[in-house]
Structure 1
Amino acid sequence: MEDFGINNNEGTATNALSNDTRLGSASKGCGSDIRRSIEDLSHEELYDLGKSYLDRLGRLGELGDMGKAMKYAKHTFSSTPDGHPDLQTRLAQLGACYSDRFKRLGELNDMEKAVDCSIRALELTPGATPDQHSNLSGLCADLGASYINRYRRLGEASDSDKAIEYMNSALSFTPNDHPDLPRRHSNLGASYGDRYRRLGKPNDLEESMKWITRAVELAPKDCSYLPALIANLGGTYNSRYRRLGELDILEKAIEHRLCALELTPNGHPDLPVRHGLWRDKILKISISVKDIFFHDANLGLSYRDKYRHLAGIGDLNKAIKSHSSALKLTPNNHPDLPDRYSNLGMSYYDRYHRLGKFCDLEKSIKCDHHALLLTPGNHPDFSRRQADMGVSYSAPYRRTGKLDALEKAIEYHSRAVALTPNCHPHSSARHTNLGAAHGDRYKRLGELANLDKSIGHALYTLTFTPDSHPDLPLRYGNLGVAYLTWYSRLREPADIQTSIEHMTSALLLTPEDHSNLSYWYTTLGVSYSDQYDSLGESADFKKAIEHLSHALGLTPNGHTDLRHRYAALGVAYRSQYRHIGEWVSLEKAIEYDDIALTLTPEGHPGLSLRHFCWATNYRLAYQHTSDPSYLNTSMDLFREASRLPNSAPRELFNYAVIWARFARTFGHLSCIEAFRVTIDFLPQFIWLGATTSQRYYDLSLAEGLPVIAGCAAIRASEGSLALEWLEHTRCVVWSQSLMLRSPLDDLKSSYPYLGNQLQEAAKRLRYASSDSPHMRNISEANTLELRQHLARQYDELLAQVRNQAGFKNFLRPAKSDVLLHAARYGPIAVINCFEVHCDALLLIPGCEDIIHIPLPDFTGVKAHKFRSEMEKSIRSRRSNERGVERRPVKEEEVDFQSALSDLWYNIVKPILDFLGYTNNPGIATENMPHITWCPTGILSFLPLHAAGDYEQPGSRAFDYVISSYTPTLTALLNTTTSTLRRNSRVLIIGQEATPGHQQLPGTIKELEYIVGHMKGRVNHSKLSGSQATTMTVLNAMEQHDWVHLACHAHQSVQDPTESGFFLHDGLAFLSACQTATGDETLPDEAIHLASGMLMAGYRSVIATMWSVVDDDAPFVADEVYARLIRDGKIDNGEVGKALHYAVAELRDKIGEKEFNRWVPYIHVGS
């Protein structure tokens, strides 16, 4: 709004011209001539001259006039002695000059001087009344205007209050017949309007409306400032519209602003009288450039509001035209220039959203960027500039899928929220924008924390939005969308119900003529469609189609949302086909998806989804008709969906997985290609920028991929490819962690700077991505933004390294020719356990071929059955286990023995037969060959080392081989021979009594046995009882070569990362779970403590597959360490051999059919 400041009586044009001419002549002489010429003029003449320049500045906006007005005002004031009756007037004029210069140049110092001058001028009339001082009302008005200017610049609420106080005083001191009375009313109304925009109190808006309406009523029809008054009234109507959302109010706003613009002529009737000889020049230009760009800008705002209500593209084009005109007429150094850019930028953004033309989006970003650069950091509008930039960057992300645009959007929105007080009326809008951006990032990266933030911000905005606010439907709708997204993640029926409730509220509260109506119909229809898909209730389908059809009818042709309307209908009809199987439903789905695909522009990130939906339709059509053309078309579309650029890697990975699964199921020729694409996407899907727990969750979404991909490659006689895929798709998080810990000696030797950068980035990323409290304590703030920034930085550095000579394959997954070298100390059997059959890939030392051994008589179904039976058997015998409270239990008759027999005949024996090992019955343990088992899938939980027919002699695995396990082949590649020397260090840790857990009495004996073997032979340290705190143990492990842990362990089934050893003061997080018990939901991730120890750098680990009997552990430890200390070797299979001997002794002691007692002991590693 315009405000009207100092109002002095006009000087005569003749005197001003005469004085200006005299000074102009003197300026041709020396400096003393100019000073004498100025001195020759009276105070009144200088005052009039300065005022004339100030008046002309207000009319023409020429900066040269501003300098002259300031010069004469300063001279007049400095030459006026204290006590002079005109001192007050001189101060007021100087204050007006400072105020005007501030408005044009935005210098804070000018604003402060204007306030100071106004205060001093008013102080010169202490206790005066309007009768005693004729200009008291003008002085109050000047000071009020100064406070308005300072408030608009700094946003201090106290300045707004003072502005209202002095404007009230000015009005009360102004006689009813005073010519400035209309302006007093208008300025008071403008002050209330400013406070309303800051605090959002409806009463301030009504006060603003009352005073400005009165100002227009009082103003003479021919006065020069009537257009400004009418424009101010239009602005107040616009604010009321934004408050109440009623279209007739907006029409009044436009009506008044158009009237104001029409009343601002190119030539003003009073100009010749006021400015005399300047008439010819002035008649050629606008009467007031400021008035025109002010009215143009405000009219543009009203047109944009009208477009947002009615979606008329003509209104939006008018808004852009008005904003463009206002921007062109605004001088480069004018303080309102940022607003001009901002308004134009938002209008371009709206047009981009409507028509989808990228050039409009580019213009929007450019305008918003200019507005931000021109706005000082302490300006109250700075938060709005940040918010506008956030909106501008969200759009290119949604259009191109580039993650850096989304990160910038979140960065700007976060700043906007941080800079906006909670009580600010725009606080809810800031939170809405930030919540939407977090929702976008959740959909892109899948991290639940983003979805939590999205819902949190949506809840905040709804809570703090008044019931009468026109944005209330938007708040309900945004929260409904957030709950719909939450439902898609967790599939909780309550979430979809909550979503429907909020969407319904949004729809009911939206006026019938509002442009958002089609969007709310769409989102509500989608919610009903999802509920129908889940529950199959026909009533939900009818509601979905009703709402989605209505939304389509309300969406204008050419609107960018039209494709979404058709796509949503396609999803609904496809869901109906799945439920009722009617061909007509699928035909409609194909029809709508075809239109949606046609309407999606090239390069759009949504193009992959459109192809995927179309592919799904044709796949269903093939299953319905058995027409092979449908299958081929479907596979081609799946291929296209998985390969289009700009889509989120998560989406592309999911599309590729589905393509691969169906291609294998239907025996399509694209099967191998599909799995290759899927596996290539895996590192982007399981992204280093996510936390460890998030990556494990993501892997659960791709459950079974290693087994299915391996099976497909084996069926295609691609043994090398099968080996690579089984290696690269298993233990993914484990491999990523190893990569971040990889030594970079070769790189740092060749490229020291790049090597050091990569090492530091890996270290920071490892800490930031960890879920471990220990890691979080020593890392930087573990924020989403930090992790993702570090992950991108690490990826960029890794790409740089791979561009260097000799480092093309740096830290890339190993190829099969490298993996073959893992078999150094005996054969390795990689066993792929599929649902209906198994296969073994055999790696033999010195052999360059991968040997395939079919195992058709063992299946994944059997493996699951045996796993369940073994668990029951183990639970039934838990009364004597280590750390378990003794209590009588009933023995369950479970056939553990038959499971071991099936493993023997259908997996282990065929492999040993092929190797010729079963040809040597009765072989001495010392001469037994060593084999390493590398099982996949559910087979990872079964004890292959204990396989055997315990009713037949010579039919047990341990009769022929010494068994070890490995989670991956890579784990065996980098091991080296290690000898136990006198200077080796062994750490022995025991916890007989851990707070909150049952006692482990056997640990005392166990530690005594181990210490007895170490004394005089090997350096060792012992930590027991209260000594064994988490930090003490972790620090000690860094200083020792061996570590022995005799304590409670814990595996969290819900969150594998919350597993580890219980020590005296808590849980030592060494990676994952207890002993060698894995997580059944992620069988191929080797989420157990044994693999964690391998990852930490231990080459050889003895662990247990389940809890052991307390009396057995000391016995086994005694036997193992006796042999290891005697032989002094811990590699080349020696640890496995020592355990083999120890377990044999335990079997002899307790009986070989006490499976639950001797079977759990295993060796992992080399």
Structure 2
Amino acid sequence: MDHFHQSGDWTAIHNAVQLMEEVIKLTPDGHTKKAGQLSNLGSALFHRIEYLGELRDIENAILVTRQAVDLTPVDLTPDGCADKGARLTNLGNAFFLRFKYLGELGDIENAIPLYQEAVELTPDGYADKAAMLNNLGNSFSCRFECLGKLEDLENAILVKQQAVDLTPDGHATKAEQLNNLGDAFNSRFRHLGNLRDIENAILVSQQAVDLTPDGHADKAARLTSLGNALQNIENAILVNQQAVDLTPDGHADKAARLTNLGIAFQSRFEHLGKLEDLQNAILLKQQAVELTPDGYADKAAMLNNLGNSFSCRFKDLDIENAIFINQQAVDLTPDGHAHKQAFLNNLGGALQSRFRHFGELRDIENAILVRQQAVDLTPDDHADKAMLLNNLGRAFICRFQHLGKLEDMENAILMNQKAVDLTPDGHAHKAGLLNTLGAAFTLRFEHLGKIGDIMKATEALKQATENTSSRPFSRYQAAHLWAILCSKHQNPSTALNAYTVVLGIIPQVVWFGQTVHRRYEELLKIGRTINAAAAMAISVGDLSRAVEWLEEGRSIIWKQILQLRTPLDELRQQHPDLADELLRVSQALDKAGTSDFQDIDPEIKHKNAEEEAQNHHKLAAKYEELLQQVRELDGFGSFLRPKKFSELAPAAINGPVVIVNVAELRCDALVLCTSGEIVSVTLPTFSYKQAETLHLKLQSSLRAHGVRVDRDGDLATHLAEEANQDHFISILADLWSHIVQPILSKIEQVLYENADHFLPHITWCATGALAFLPLHAAGIYGSDNPMNIFDFTVSSYTTTLTAMLGSCSKPKRDPTVVRSVLIVSQPATPGQSPLPDVVKEVEAIQHYTSPDHTCHLTHEFATVGAVLGEMSKHEIIHLACHGIQDMKNPLSSAFLLYDGGLELNTLMRLSLENAELAILSACETATGHENLPEEAVHLAAGMLAIGYPSVIATMWSIRDSDTPLIADKVYANLLGHRDNSESQKAKLTPAYALHEAVKHLRKEVGEMNFVRWVPFIHFGV
């Protein structure tokens, strides 16, 4: 036994059991040592049980330890009391072990009084006192998990803390006792949500791991406990993986550790949404189920965990598997078992999920039935009662929405209110419970119209947003619904308060620690919230706040990327060390999550991707910590916070910027004037729905002209009969009549006061579906009184005001200085249709560029690496090649070069200081993603973000034969002919140069040939 205790070598225990059995056979009944020998045999059997998990060892252990207790009198001497206490403890251990394997509550009830008697009999100062307290604490923890009575958990922490305090540093059992205390703190945190408990759990669990040498048999178990305590999911996965790796196949705890690792992966899936994490969780939990023999107490729990993962993934087969597995867990669990209610609850969840997808009434009936059973089995003082009530309430709501019976709604509110009342403020689940209650009150208001329900709903939702320990998305959902209800049923100032909270939570939802792709997926959930917030601000006349909010909510990902590249000169002057650390972390975070693991072994790929994800999240946490430090310094309180209007106003220094906000409440234009004034233009005849309809009509018109339109599925059903019709004239007329003409009329004086002898310049910043429509071509065409925007103004677009600020602040370049130009051409890209007119396009450009200041990469020389290597060396880049807009993965949108695609994802890693203009003579370079209209996920936006202040791009596929003419006229107006001094003096800015070029193309192809001349647009300054 000593060898085993010192080394953790399990093979030593077999010999110990055999020797002790022989010794006991040789010792006559009545011998004074008989009781001690029986007790020692029980201890040896306990250790063998932990390794082999055989039930016969448990029964034998109970038998021999009971005999030992019966043979031991309570001696009045301290030593005699201690002996009796030790043997009572061993008998308690035997019952405890049987409970662990069979799950019968009676065994834990037998163990607790035995442990208590042992503690009371053992004098203070005896070496075993701490161990006895530790065992008593474990039994209290176990009963808490069964019955959910917080009194047991409090007692567990109390006696486990006593055990730790009684054990000197360096003692062999110190690590075990710390580990058990950590488990108890973690359990209390899970049920009460007190952050101090999780901090204590991590602290003592880490101490337990540190005290346990590598190779020790308990190392894996202690890593598992630490993994369960860590709120940082990355660390939890790491230490749980170590625990699994350290546990040999065949070990009795292998299945439990696989399950814990699976739970950690599922937790990360629920936070970050990576499907790969859920796949890993299912795989690990399946392995755990397969390793656990039928009849083991943990079998039902492992089946239950696996069923939950299948429900989470939900495919047709998954939900059937989930129901089948959860039903198995219920069937394997006898009535009266501590976990019965949890398994019933999860079965109800799977049934409810199937009902939502297939609509079978019997599923929701059964879901309510089993969830009601779960509630009925759970006493009010059980820590899980609130969650079970909340889930039953959700089931009632689900049936109410299907059948419309008011009784179901009343029951739902009753259950949800009780769940909220049972949950203390600050609990991690409180926001979710309040969300459900708020939604229930809202539903009842919609059916009965009682204003009191709206008051109750908004109060519940407001409380949910204030529970900062809850998940950001739960708080966002609450704030969003709160704002909507206030907008519809309460005063605007209350709605503005709610929207202020929404804006504050969004950065936590779209977190730096996620990959860029994942952040875009999170933005899909946020949708039109920003536009609704701005509309509410406009309705009360708070125009500067509306501008600030629209700016804060647009191109969120681009601004995050630009934020990481912000110069830190001012900070460095006053706090150089902090600036250097922030720069280091910013640069690392800028590159995080971008590695390519495509061509390596899958197992290594998974490991590398896992390590990179963990590093990414740690960098994000460190970055936020450093930002907070900077903002606490004098003079840096607003460091890298969203810009105020006073900081945004200079974006209009070169001409008015028109932000068109399209929301369901109302549509408006906000015109930022060069004076710093905001002019509001109400657009009463335009609507959000109309913008979507015009977008669909544009898609139809492009199809009619044979232009590829990358949409998932067909057009909306109400336009199905009009598919492939040409709506261009009506689209452009509607844009003119409902948007552009009212705006131009309102700002006519502002527009022309700085125009000199040129046409005035407008920069458009549109929201919603309007972001995909050609405002620059709006007009009345084909009539006796034509009226077109291009006769009154030159149009540009911008993704955000921030994108213009850096360029506006730069000193203007001397027009006589020769610009260096990088030309990238691909007339015959491998695997793509040829572009024969690209050769003519390049020749046209070369009429205006200096050979000494021009680099031309073409054919096999135009590789991704070569282009990336040259971009920083030239002020102007001209890309004449195929371009693609990837609708499913917008960051894979790319310029197609000789050896592959120069993707938006790759471009985002660049930061160019001397860049001036990018001309993207390719298809779909400013198309964007229809589900992310505020994000401008296209190649033109990418070029703006990496440092090009001015970009010429295309809204859809262009004709190859049109590009030489556009190139010729753009460069003629932009650079002037290199051999003509007069033309050198008449240079125009990119926006005006493109305006003139498109005018020539329009004359060439005909004004009514919209599909040819409309797609060419200018972004930036």
- TM-score, normalised relative to structure 1: 0.75
Tell me which residue corresponds to 2:799: 967
Tell me how large the CA RMSD over aligned residues is: 4.2
Matched position secondary structure for 1:1101: strand
Mapped to 2, the partners of 1:724 and 1:1045 lie a distance apart of 34
8 Å CA contact 1:532–1:541 kept in 2: the answer is yes
Unaligned runs of 5+ in 2: 74-79, 711-721, 909-922, 978-982
Equivalent AA in structure 1 for residue 842 of structure 2: L
* Superposed displacement of residue 671, structure 1: 1.7
1:991-1140 aligned within 5 A:
991-1016=826-851, 1019-1071=853-905, 1074-1126=924-976, 1134-1140=989-995
Q: Which of 673, 683, 692 does residue 864 from structure 1 map onto?
A: 692
Mapped to 2, the partners of 1:1131 and 1:228 lie a distance apart of 100
Mapped to 2, the partners of 1:619 and 1:211 lie a distance apart of 59
Tell me which residue corresponds to 1:659: 482
Tell me which residue corresponds to 1:539: 362
Mapped to 1, the partners of 2:835 and 2:193 lie a distance apart of 69
Tell me which residue corresponds to 1:838: 667
1:636 maps onto 2:459 in alignment: yes
Tell me which residue corresponds to 1:436: 263
Mapped to 2, the partners of 1:667 and 1:1133 lie a distance apart of 52
1:141-160 aligned within 5 A:
148-156=1-9, 160=10
What do residues 871-904 of structure 1 show as CA deviations (whole Å, max 9, x unaligned)? 222233338999xxxxxxx994422222112212
8 Å CA contact 1:1028–1:1064 kept in 2: the answer is yes
8 Å CA contact 1:189–1:209 kept in 2: the answer is no
8 Å CA contact 1:881–1:1110 kept in 2: the answer is no
Q: Which of 293, 296, 300 does residue 466 from structure 1 map onto?
A: 293
Mapped to 1, the partners of 2:773 and 2:831 lie a distance apart of 31
Tell me which residue corresponds to 2:997: 1142
Q: 1:218 to 1:1011 in 2, by over 3 A?
A: same
Q: 1:912 to 1:424 in 2, by over 3 A?
A: same
Equivalent AA in structure 2 for residue 897 of structure 1: I
1:897 maps onto 2:734 in alignment: no
* Superposed displacement of residue 803, structure 1: 2.6
Matched position secondary structure for 1:791: helix
Mapped to 2, the partners of 1:998 and 1:709 lie a distance apart of 46
Tell me which residue corresponds to 2:50: 197
1:785 maps onto 2:609 in alignment: no
Q: 1:990 to 1:781 in 2, by over 3 A?
A: farther
Matched position secondary structure for 2:297: coil
Mapped to 2, the partners of 1:154 and 1:1129 lie a distance apart of 86
1:850 maps onto 2:699 in alignment: no
Mapped to 1, the partners of 2:207 and 2:263 lie a distance apart of 24
Tell me which residue corresponds to 1:733: 557
Equivalent AA in structure 2 for residue 470 of structure 1: A
Matched position secondary structure for 2:904: coil
What do residues 36-70 of structure 1 show as CA deviations (whole Å, max 9, x unaligned)? xxxxxxxxxxxxxxxxxxxxxxxxxxxxxxxxxxx
Q: Which deviates more, 1136-1145 or 644-653?
A: 644-653
What do residues 1112-1140 of structure 1 show as CA deviations (whole Å, max 9, x unaligned)? 11221122112212189999971111111
Tell me which residue corresponds to 1:380: 217
1:817 maps onto 2:646 in alignment: yes
Q: 1:222 to 1:608 in 2, by over 3 A?
A: closer
Equivalent AA in structure 1 for residue 1006 of structure 2: G
Tell me which residue corresponds to 2:325: 502
Matched position secondary structure for 2:781: coil
Tell me which residue corresponds to 2:525: 701
Equivalent AA in structure 2 for residue 866 of structure 1: L
Mapped to 1, the partners of 2:987 and 2:542 lie a distance apart of 31
Equivalent AA in structure 2 for residue 753 of structure 1: D
Mapped to 2, the partners of 1:149 and 1:835 lie a distance apart of 76
* Superposed displacement of residue 951, structure 1: 1.4
Mapped to 1, the partners of 2:619 and 2:704 lie a distance apart of 49
Equivalent AA in structure 2 for residue 685 of structure 1: V
Tell me which residue corresponds to 1:621: 444
Q: 1:525 to 1:668 in 2, by over 3 A?
A: farther
1:579 maps onto 2:402 in alignment: yes
Matched position secondary structure for 1:934: strand
Equivalent AA in structure 1 for residue 769 of structure 2: I
Mapped to 1, the partners of 2:225 and 2:256 lie a distance apart of 11
Mapped to 1, the partners of 2:213 and 2:985 lie a distance apart of 68
Mapped to 2, the partners of 1:653 and 1:1044 lie a distance apart of 43
* Superposed displacement of residue 819, structure 1: 2.1
Tell me which residue corresponds to 1:48: none
Equivalent AA in structure 2 for residue 878 of structure 1: G
Q: Which of 746, 752, 765 does residue 570 from structure 2 map onto?
A: 746
8 Å CA contact 1:309–1:513 kept in 2: the answer is no
* Superposed displacement of residue 1074, structure 1: 4.7
1:767 maps onto 2:602 in alignment: no
Q: Which deviates more, 460-469 or 689-698?
A: 460-469
* Superposed displacement of residue 785, structure 1: 2.4
Equivalent AA in structure 1 for residue 936 of structure 2: A
Q: Which of 1012, 1015, 1019 does residue 1160 from structure 1 map onto?
A: 1015
Matched position secondary structure for 2:847: helix
Q: 1:187 to 1:177 in 2, by over 3 A?
A: closer
Mapped to 2, the partners of 1:750 and 1:816 lie a distance apart of 27
Tell me which residue corresponds to 2:766: 935
Equivalent AA in structure 2 for residue 930 of structure 1: H
What do residues 501-531 of structure 1 show as CA deviations (whole Å, max 9, x unaligned)? 3221211111222111111122222333444
What do residues 434-476 of structure 1 show as CA deviations (whole Å, max 9, x unaligned)? 3334444444455555544444443332233233322111111
* Superposed displacement of residue 247, structure 1: 6.0
8 Å CA contact 1:183–1:215 kept in 2: the answer is no
Q: 1:154 to 1:1041 in 2, by over 3 A?
A: farther
8 Å CA contact 1:1119–1:1142 kept in 2: the answer is yes
What do residues 842-891 of structure 1 show as CA deviations (whole Å, max 9, x unaligned)? 1222x232111122222232222222222222233338999xxxxxxx99
- TM-score, normalised relative to structure 2: 0.84
1:120-199 aligned within 5 A:
148-156=1-9, 160-161=10-11, 164=14, 176=26, 194-198=47-51
Q: 1:588 to 1:743 in 2, by over 3 A?
A: same
Equivalent AA in structure 2 for residue 500 of structure 1: I
Tell me which residue corresponds to 2:172: 335
Q: 1:717 to 1:447 in 2, by over 3 A?
A: farther
* Superposed displacement of residue 572, structure 1: 2.1
8 Å CA contact 1:445–1:650 kept in 2: the answer is no
Equivalent AA in structure 1 for residue 244 of structure 2: V
Mapped to 1, the partners of 2:412 and 2:262 lie a distance apart of 32
Tell me which residue corresponds to 1:480: 307
Matched position secondary structure for 2:531: helix
Max Rg structure: 1
1:34-433 aligned within 5 A:
148-156=1-9, 160-161=10-11, 164=14, 176=26, 194-198=47-51, 200=52, 202=54, 206=56, 235=93, 238-245=96-103, 289=126, 308=145, 333-343=170-180, 346=183, 368=205, 371-391=208-228, 393=229, 409-410=236-237, 412-433=239-260
Q: Which deviates more, 1027-1036 or 747-756?
A: 747-756
Q: Which deviates more, 1028-1037 or 609-618?
A: 609-618
Tell me which residue corresponds to 1:600: 423
Equivalent AA in structure 1 for residue 813 of structure 2: S
8 Å CA contact 1:946–1:957 kept in 2: the answer is yes
Equivalent AA in structure 2 for residue 388 of structure 1: S
Mapped to 2, the partners of 1:219 and 1:524 lie a distance apart of 44
Matched position secondary structure for 2:347: helix
Mapped to 2, the partners of 1:917 and 1:1110 lie a distance apart of 40
